[in-house]
């Protein structure tokens, strides 16, 4: 079994930060089509604050749980907008099954991701079909839930594909949650920004796990 230590999680978060800088304008453009045009900016503010914390902290005194909680709390505290508390909850809930582990298995990580996604779902109260990040995350969660006894490269590929398809599925939808709600039919034809950012961010995690 692969054992994933704090360094694994540090690298994942660093790469999520890089991805966010690269896609800051793209995610903001998606949000200017059907929202208020700040989604990429919001996430960039959050991941820059996380980078500042990582640069200024001696992480050798931190465990996986403490690190993920800090990441979640930073997103929760620094990101204005709906996505901050939702992504904050993802990382806080990922941390919640842990105690003082210095390493986790891929199967434990799958369970952590399941809990994180369920955290987003209970916080935002969105279900599949409402044109939110849940449309990307819930199909991914199902793949993990069905395969959590043994996480293979195939499982991780399917996890990524289902989330990508989930993000695509938001294009023809009318929104039932979030800012796009008030657009009614005018939201049809546009991809939900949070669905796109969440499938891309969780792909970073899955890619690190398949290596
Ligand atoms: P804001 O809309 O407050 O400006 P962002 O632009 O950062 O915040 O994030 C918008 C994204 O948040 C949407 O594209 C959608 O995916 C997600 N979102 C909004 N409300 C909810 C909700 N209740 N549940 C799940 N996701 C939501
Ligand atoms: Mg916005
Ligand atoms: Mg906003």
List C-alpha distances in Å: 113 to 83, 92, 107, 203. 17, 11, 10, 12
Look at residue 89 in the predicted model and tell me its pLDDT. Answer: 98
Q: Does the structure show a pLDDT above 90 at 11?
A: yes
Confidence of residue 67 (pLDDT cuts 50, 70, 90): very high
Dihedral (CA of 195, 121, 150, 92) sign: positive
Q: What is the mean pLDDT of the chain?
A: 97
Nearest CA residue ID for atom 11, ligand 1: 194
Look at residue 211 in the predicted model and tell me its pLDDT. Answer: 82
Look at residue 143 in the predicted model and tell me its pLDDT. Answer: 98
DSSP character string of the chain? --EEEHHHHHHHHHHHHHHHHHHHHHHHHHHHHHS-S-HHHHHHHHHHHHHHHHHHS-GGG--HHHHHHHHHHHHHHH--STHHHHHHHHHHHHHTT-SS-SEEEHHHHHHHHHHHHHHHHHHH---TTSSSTHHHHHHHHHHHHHHTTS--HHHHHHHHHHHHHHHHTTTTPPPSSSGGGGGGGGGTT---HHHHHHHHHHHHHHHHHH-
Q: Does the structure show a pLDDT above 90 at 2?
A: no
From the alpha carbon of 194, which atom of ligand 1 is closest? Answer: 16
Q: Which domains does the chain carry?
A: 3-210 (1.25.40.340)
137-191 tens-digit pLDDT: 999 999 999 999 999 999 999 999 999 999 999 999 999 999 999 999 999 999 9
Look at residue 121 in the predicted model and tell me its pLDDT. Answer: 98
Distance CA 156, CA 206 (A): 6
Please give the average per-residue pLDDT across 1-27, as a whole number.
96
What separation in Å is there between the alpha carbon of 35 and the centre of ligand 3? 8
Look at residue 76 in the predicted model and tell me its pLDDT. Answer: 97
Please give the average per-residue pLDDT across 22-36, as a whole number.
98
Which residues lie with the beta carbon below 6 Å from any ligand 1 atom? 31, 35-36, 38-39, 42, 81-83, 86, 124-126, 132-134, 177-179, 192-195
| ipTM score assigned to the predicted complex | 0.99
Pairing of strands 103-105, 3-5: antiparallel
Nearest CA residue ID for atom 9, ligand 1: 83
Q: What is the percent of the chain with per-residue pLDDT over 90, rounded to a whole number?
A: 97
Q: What is the value of pTM for the model shown?
A: 0.98
From the alpha carbon of 35, which atom of ligand 1 is closest? Answer: 2
Look at residue 80 in the predicted model and tell me its pLDDT. Answer: 87
What separation in Å is there between the alpha carbon of 87 and the centre of ligand 1? 10
Q: Does the structure show a pLDDT above 80 at 1?
A: no
Residue 61's CB is within 10 A of a number of other CB atoms, namely: 7
Residue 66's CB is within 10 A of a number of other CB atoms, namely: 15
Among 87, 133, 138, 197, the mutation site with the greatest number of ligand 1 atoms within 8 A of its Cβ is 133
Q: Does the structure show a pLDDT above 90 at 86?
A: yes
Look at residue 139 in the predicted model and tell me its pLDDT. Answer: 98
């Amino acid at each position: 079994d692969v054992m994933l230590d704090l360094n694994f999680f540090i690298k994942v978060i660093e790469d999520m930060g890089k991805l966010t800088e690269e896609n800051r304008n793209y995610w903001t453009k998606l949000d200017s089509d059907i929202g208020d045009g700040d989604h990429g900016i919001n996430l960039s503010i959050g991941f820059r604050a996380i980078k500042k914390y990582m640069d200024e902290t001696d992480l050798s005194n931190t465990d996986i749980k403490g690190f993920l909680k800090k990441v979640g709390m930073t997103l929760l505290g620094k990101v204005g907008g709906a996505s901050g508390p939702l992504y904050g909850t993802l990382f806080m809930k990922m941390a919640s099954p842990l105690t003082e582990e210095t390493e986790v298995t891929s199967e434990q990580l799958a369970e952590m991701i399941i809990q994180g996604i369920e955290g987003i779902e209970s916080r935002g109260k969105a279900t599949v079909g409402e044109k939110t990040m849940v449309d990307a995350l819930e199909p991914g969660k199902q793949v993990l839930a069905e395969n959590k006894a043994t996480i293979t490269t195939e499982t991780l590929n399917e996890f990524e594909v289902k989330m990508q398809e989930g993000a695509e599925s938001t294009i023809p939808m009318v929104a039932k949650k979030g800012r796009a709600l008030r657009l009614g039919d005018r939201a049809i034809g546009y991809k939900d920004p949070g669905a796109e950012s969440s499938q891309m961010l969780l792909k970073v995690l899955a890619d690190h796990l398949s290596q």
